[in-house]
Structure 1
Amino acid sequence: MTETKYLKFFLNEIGYSVHNLNTIAVALSNLPANSVPNPELNIKWEAKNLEKSCIAARRFAVRSSLVFAVEALFEYMSNISDDELWKKLNFDLDFKKKLSTNDSKARRFSEFCKSIPGIEKEWYLLVELMCHWRNQIVHASTSNAGLSSSDKRFLETKISFLYDNFYHFDVMKTLEDYDADKVTLKEATTLITFLIKCCRKIDEHYISSISGLSNQVYSEVLDNDDQFNLLKKQVGSAKRNRQIMKYIGVKLPYLSAEKITMLANEYK
């Protein structure tokens, strides 16, 4: 297994966000002037000014997708932090733990990512910006947080790299648009791309790290599982052994078949 159940759920939610947003944009750009709703939709729709309606609909879709993606990110980060094996790693990385100063989920994400191999600084800073943008959309009158001056200066050093490697992404324009709260389709889709890249690296780190835990740790996790304890109490039989091995594979799906067999043998 190359992905945790947390990442799979996350990707099921937003994995096609870029394609879906682009599909909406293409569909809106091709609406004929005399458009009428398909009767099967069973809705009332009258566009007094089709061009303005399309612009407003596209803006709504872009802003909504940004908020939705960040909410999915927060759920993924909370699930990883609550994971039993993640806690056993003693990394002291807990997304749900408040920072001592200037706490926000946006900043917690950046602090978390600093310890994850393979995540570039510009990746997590742009996702932090995305999180701040979510707050700006949802809490327009009260949110005034953003990237620090030093973080903005760092992103400025990556202008050419980001432009050349991420479909002409203009980070300076993005920072300006953040200040004006005018997120574009291009900005939203690129930020979502960085968000997914960060989560994939967190997931890789989780899986590679827990594979190095001792059998004692795995046994502790299993012994604290009520359903597994019911299996252990069954009379010894080939069926019981098969059920135990199958349950370990479900409970600890990121372990190798060899490791699962070794653990199951301890409960024969």
Structure 2
Amino acid sequence: MTELIKQLLADGPVILDGAWGTQLQQRGLSSGDCPDEWNLSHAEQVECVPRAYVEAGSQVVLTNTFRSNRLALDGYGLSAQVQAINRAAAEISLRAAGDLAIVFGSIGPSGKMLMTGEVSESELDAAFSEQAAALASAGVAAILVETMSDLAEAKLALAAAKRTGLPVVVSMVFDSGKELDRTMMGDTAEKVATELTVAGADVVGANCGQGIESYVGVCQQLHRATDLPIWIKANAGVPQICDGEVVYRTSAEEFAKHGPALVQAGAKFVGGCCGTGPEFIQALRKSVRG
């Protein structure tokens, strides 16, 4: 276990941040806009998000870089802005965190399918290496590889992030199979935890995909398969379409009441994903840390 992870865990479960996309939408981001480009054009608005989470009690906040690898940014015509977007994002979150929280750099999926040949392993490695290096040079304390559905892609991102020398968390999406405990590719939580542990992850976990109550079982499976700390960031329930808009029905109080069960199942890092906000983090912190 790295010294940073050890220090974070010394005082009990670590409270993470919540969703970013929905928070930026509340501040004016349109559905067709690239959220990550706002690091350059709307820095003050972006900074409001991690600042609100820190004020709510988050001990770790992310960077607004979920789509900031070259392959994903190319869909917005922004592939030439990789360095600038990642660096600006790190500076924004570091300012907001101050001395009250730690900043983990977010790396999301490429948006390309490895198994169909839409992208090659070498292209993924180059894209993830470029982003990880940009985040590391900008001063983040660790890297989070998140919302991954393909274990092969996740391991490539992990290898690229590990070359920075920083601690690396890898978080997969489990929303498939009869029990909703498999990735889109059909991998079980046990398989994911085992392979990511062997591949050198410092923390493994799950995010997005489903609500917090469903991730208790996934957390147990991950915990059984590895000695590494477990990271869980669940959605505010399963999204529903209401009048053409995505709506999350779970309240902050309902979300937070499942926090202790997650911790009992083995979670060491807990936070929120889609549909959650500062009020969710505040309630979660109260439920698991008192």
TM-score (norm 2): 0.23
TM-score (norm 1): 0.25
Larger relative contact order (CA 8 Å, sep ≥ 6) = 1
Q: Which has the higher strand share?
A: 2
Q: Which has the higher helix share?
A: 1
